[in-house]
Amino acid sequence: MTAFDLSTCARPNILKLVPYRCARDDYKDDGTNILLDANENAFGPSLPSNLSLTSTLPTSTLHRYPDPHQHALKQKFCNLRGGALTPSNLFLGVGSDEAIDALLRAFCIPGKDKILTCPPTYGMYAVSACVNDIDIVKVPLKVTEPGFPVDVDAIERVLSETEGIKLVYLCSPGNPTGSLVDPEAVKRLLAHPTWNGVVVVDEAYVDFAPQGSSLAPWVTEYPNLVVMQTLSKAFGLAGIRLGAAFTSVEIAKLLNSLKAPYSVSSPTSELAMVALTEESGLKVQRQNVEGILRQRDRLVQELPKIEGIGRFLGGFESNFLLCEMLDRSGKPSNVVAEKVYAQLAETRGVVVRFRGKELGCEGCLRITIGTGEENDRLLERLAEVLKQVREE
């Protein structure tokens, strides 16, 4: 008889952990579904259509570990964002999630320090904080105001009154809100007179926002700013799992010192180099983003014509829309939204994301922008399902 008892052997915070969930935990893709749930780029990867993977990824080098420093790839990111950025301002990791976790491990003492988030927001900030035994202080967005703006006055007050907050995570454009954070709000937090901490701006969707929206060039001026980005969204490369964090040289050194060696694989690096090259991947990326924005504008016009669709909440600076499902009395309804979410996936092969349980998102579905054909089917099938659910 073993003395092993998982309930007392494992860390208490891990036993209590609620893992990150997505719609595909509920609805597995069999290859026939229209996937409008994860904010992927439905137009495909930012790679030339005639790209030969065998020439891009020479197998003769795969027995060697990848370049641990990735200077050439980091320079490509710097060229993309401009300003005075250099490779020494960059941390590269496995998606933005590695940067989220690395920041917590670099700045927060487990069981003592805290982070500040602004719900509704990306769920991995909380998951990673729980894994690292870090408390979360929440200052909600102004959910009753158009665009879900950051409550900068409340954040400043909390930072002044609460000990141990080391990181403030801001999502811009927000997920699930789709709104940019006011740059002036970021400046105010960076200049807080008594708070000794770091502002982290997550720009996963920034390439769907107006040109020049990225705050990445600011990191050469502000020593307490980190700007996270990813190739998963606008570049359509979610499958290679590459994220970047722009920051001061000093913070970049910390993050690069604590990361696992060789975390960015050679295939990932080579594909990213192609995607970030002007005459190849960047040309495709711009074309795909233009197509997504046209389809976004189309859905903004067409979705409200469906009976039972309410307001768009948040903004229009991302590759998704957050919109209300209404009951027969015209009120946003989680009951309606959950039924529509389930029936779309189960009977119509269209997977979106139910967001109604998040603060300020009563009755909301988050719909990723698809291709023209996918959006044709979305509009048709959403109208069918919503009519059926509201008549029940």
Give all strands of the β-sheet with 353-354 in edge-to-edge order.
309-313, 320-325, 364-368, 353-354
Domain finish residue from 278, 300, 319: 278
Question: pLDDT digits over 312-361, tens only?
Answer: 998 999 999 999 999 999 999 999 999 999 999 999 999 999 999 999 99
80 with 24, same domain? Answer: no
The number of domains in the chain is 2
In a domain, 246, yes or no: yes
Contact of 86 with 116, CB cutoff 8 Å: no
Q: Percentage of the chain with pLDDT > 90?
A: 79
- Report pLDDT for 272: 94
253 with 315, same domain? Answer: no
The whole-chain average pLDDT of the chain stands at: 92
- 260 DSSP 8-state letter: P
How far, in Å, CA of 341 to CA of 304, rounded?
Answer: 17
In a domain, 316, yes or no: yes
Helix (H) or strand (E) holding 339: helix 334-348
In a domain, 60, yes or no: no
Structure tokens at 144: 């009753």
User: Which band of pLDDT confidence, cut at 50, 70 and 90, is reported for residue 260?
Assistant: confident
233 with 331, same domain? Answer: no
Residue 60 has pLDDT above 90, yes or no: no
Question: pLDDT digits over 303-313, tens only?
Answer: 999 999 999 99
Angle at 37 between CA 34 and CA 43, to 5 degrees: 60
Domain finish residue from 278, 306, 322: 278
204 with 342, same domain? Answer: no
Angle at 60 between CA 54 and CA 61, to 5 degrees: 105
Q: Percentage of the chain with pLDDT > 70?
A: 93
In a domain, 57, yes or no: no
88 with 18, same domain? Answer: no
Residue 78 has pLDDT above 90, yes or no: yes
- Report pLDDT for 68: 85
262 with 241, same domain? Answer: yes
Contacts of 204 (CB under 8 A, 6+ apart): 96, 122, 171, 175, 228, 229, 230, 232, 233
273 with 178, same domain? Answer: yes
166 with 155, same domain? Answer: yes
- Domain enclosing residue 375, as ranges: 8-43+281-387
- Report pLDDT for 62: 77
In a domain, 48, yes or no: no
Looking at residue 321, which CATH number applies to its domain?
A: 3.90.1150.10
CB-count burial class (<10 Å; 0-12, 13-18, 19+) for 336 = buried
191 with 321, same domain? Answer: no
Strands 198-202, 165-171: pairing is: parallel
295 with 261, same domain? Answer: no
Residue 23 has pLDDT above 60, yes or no: no
How far, in Å, CA of 235 to CA of 274, rounded?
Answer: 11
262 with 328, same domain? Answer: no
Structure tokens at 207: 């390439």
- Report pLDDT for 56: 61
- Nearest one of 373, 298, 360 to 334, comparing CA atoms: 360
259: Cα separation from own chain's centroid: 21
Domain finish residue from 217, 252, 278: 278
Contact of 319 with 39, CB cutoff 8 Å: yes
Question: pLDDT digits over 174-230, tens only?
Answer: 999 999 999 999 999 999 999 999 999 999 999 999 999 999 999 999 999 999 999
Q: What beta strand segments (E) does the chain contain? A: 34-35, 90-93, 114-117, 135-138, 165-171, 198-202, 225-230, 243-247, 309-313, 320-325, 350-351, 353-354, 364-368
- Nearest one of 162, 167, 81 to 118, comparing CA atoms: 167
User: Which band of pLDDT confidence, cut at 50, 70 and 90, is reported for residue 19?
Assistant: low
In a domain, 205, yes or no: yes
Residue 85 has pLDDT above 60, yes or no: yes
Looking at residue 211, which CATH number applies to its domain?
A: 3.40.640.10
How far, in Å, CA of 43 to CA of 22, rounded?
Answer: 21
- Report pLDDT for 13: 74
Question: Which residues share a beta bridge with 322?
Answer: 313, 366
In a domain, 50, yes or no: no
232 with 315, same domain? Answer: no
In a domain, 2, yes or no: no
Q: Which residue has the higher pLDDT, 44 or 11?
A: 44
User: Which band of pLDDT confidence, cut at 50, 70 and 90, is reported for residue 389?
Assistant: very high
User: Which band of pLDDT confidence, cut at 50, 70 and 90, is reported for residue 98?
Assistant: very high
